Amino acid sequence: MSTALAILCRYPSPGKTKTRMIPRLGDVGAADLQTQLLKHLLSNLGKPILVGQKIHDKTIYTPTLWLTGESYTQCTEWVAEQNFPLINGQNISTYTQPIGDLGQRMSTISHQLLNETEKRDGDRSESQVILIGSDIPEISNRTIRNAILALQKHDVVIGPARDGGYYLIGMSANAYGTCKDLIFSDIPWGTDRVRDITIDRLHMKQISVGTLTLLRDVDRPEDLDYATRILKLPSSTS
């Protein structure tokens, strides 16, 4: 079984990223928070899973980073400067996100990664694609492992976020064709109804959905104290 992981993130341009945080942090501070969140996430994904006192076998997946907000050249140069950690012994591949609203972008990314899997392995029938956001500090390798395990029993897996959205969406290659419009089309992105609408649509079509642990994202000023504690940032950030 082959799993592709897509991490979606906005390029940290001052004034264009984490805009809800700008009144508290300023343009540069909000952009720096975006960078720190991504670094924290990639660090978590680079750590082994501990079961008791033993290191669990690594969860194998192919990590990719999808940036939006600047050109491909600027994005790749920025990533090269960051010295991000290896994930499963691999450097993370960098892409720029396609055009469209969030749903269109996620659908295109899913399609592209499943096609790349088919070209590499000759068959995508047992492939999976998982997409995550970059602003959820408690995502770890265990989260991805649990998503992969859930997809052995379900067509779709969702990681619910406290704000009513989701921090993770994954599906098998076999389910993608049936599910893509239900998941990615005509969704009120940015509202607290995203997760419930998505799950209701899938259940109406009798598509099996697995759910993960509820986690908190960092998107609003009221999340800053939480972010400062989790990321171990200087208290002046909050």
pLDDT single digits (tens) 20-56: 999 999 999 999 999 999 999 999 988 776 544 444 4
What's the CA angle centered on 132, arms 135 and 125, to 5 degrees? 175
Instruction: Quote the pLDDT of residue 238.
Output: 46
Termini Cα distance of the chain: 43
Tell me the two tokens of residue 183. 């998941």
Instruction: Quote the pLDDT of residue 198.
Output: 97
Alpha-carbon span 177 to 184, nearest angstrom = 12
CA 136 vs. chain centroid, Å, equals 8
- The pLDDT of 200-221, averaged and rounded, is 95
pLDDT single digits (tens) 73-121: 999 999 999 988 878 777 889 999 999 999 999 999 999 999 888 777 7
Alpha-carbon span 6 to 62, nearest angstrom = 8
Instruction: Quote the pLDDT of residue 55.
Output: 42
Which residues contact residue 184 at a Cβ distance below 8 angstroms, ignoring those fewer than 6 apart? Answer: 103, 104, 106, 107
Altogether, the residues listed in the chain come to a count of: 238
Alpha-carbon span 168 to 20, nearest angstrom = 22
Give the containing element (helix H, strand E) for 6. Answer: strand 3-10
Which domains does the chain carry?
A: 3-237 (3.90.550.10)
The structure tokens 């998503």 sit at 147
The neighbouring-strand residues paired with 149 are none
What's the CA angle centered on 4, arms 191 and 185, to 5 degrees? 30
Alpha-carbon span 127 to 119, nearest angstrom = 12
